[in-house]
Amino acid sequence: MPRKKNPAVAKPDAILPDELLEKLIPGPMDAAGVEAVFQKLKKAVIERALGAELGVHLASPEGGCGNHRNGRSGKTVLTDGGPLRIEVPRDRAGSFEPQLIPKHERRFAGFDDRIISMYARGMSVREIQGHLPVALPVRQQA
């Protein structure tokens, strides 16, 4: 008789454990619900990665002795799924330079390349704006 599989045990090649997926997706969802889950997951991964970057920075010699975490600051980043509000950790000395999303950057890597490729394929600026989830400002011609 074959053994029953335990639903709480993740498959060896699975990225997320089944119990975590059960919490994220409690039942049937529509497309908007799935997109909302992806946005929440993306936000959590980005914030966790930025926190880890700050931890490495504080442990390194250039982090400085006496430098500590000093709260978070909000930042809106443009992603493939639209704008995403994240909390970027800060240090007291202000010497932390994030690598994932550098200071003063508002877009993820690859976003600009996608816009350039659409323009190269012959799409007008207005068509690109209509295609993107976030409307970019149109430059007024004089």
**Residue 42: CA count within 13 A, CB half-sphere:** 18
Its pTM surpasses 0.85: no
- Report whether pLDDT(41) > 50: yes
Q: What angle do CA 9, 15, 20 make, to 5 degrees?
A: 55
113-130: per-residue pLDDT in tens? 777 787 788 877 777 766
Average pLDDT over residues 83-99: 92
7-17: per-residue pLDDT in tens? 555 455 567 78
Lowest mean pLDDT among 29-33, 35-39, 93-97, 131-135: 131-135
H or E segment to which residue 54 belongs = helix 31-59
